[in-house]
Structure 1
Amino acid sequence: MPRLDKNRQRGMSLIEVLIALLILFISLLGSAGMQLSALKHTASALITTQDSFIAYSRQEQVRAQTGSS
């Protein structure tokens, strides 16, 4: 028959829960940092794309003016 030990631990201790929460918090902060970085680079790519469209449009305007003269 198995012996029942009163000192046998059941469940998680408070320090284990706190460490798990700390690891979760650090991973969430890292994820938020990556999201901010992605948003910054997306905005930069949008500006670069708009600049290239504007440059192409101006180039076509110059070609149209020199071709008709």
Structure 2
Amino acid sequence: MTTPTDLSNIKRCRRCGQRYDWRKSPSSTLKMTYCSSLCERADLGFTLEALLKFEPKRVAEEAPAAVE
């Protein structure tokens, strides 16, 4: 006897509607929502992985103004 496929791992992408196995999704943060990081970026405008790695530029500390 063959074992039926476990469909509990199959999700539908929120952006494109494609069915995918969420365990194999390359999106590391939104595996249960998007089939790929391309759909994640297209829907959100960015990927959460990129946002988590983002480091804002530090503003150079200005020298205190000289008191005249």
Q: What TM-score do you get using the length of structure 1 for normalisation? A: 0.34
Q: What TM-score do you get using the length of structure 2 for normalisation? A: 0.34
Q: Could you say which structure has the higher helix fraction?
A: 1
User: Quick check: which has more Rg, 1 or 2?
Assistant: 1
Which has the higher relative contact order, 1 or 2, with Cα contacts under 8 A spaced 6 or more apart? 2
Q: Could you say which structure has the higher strand fraction?
A: 2
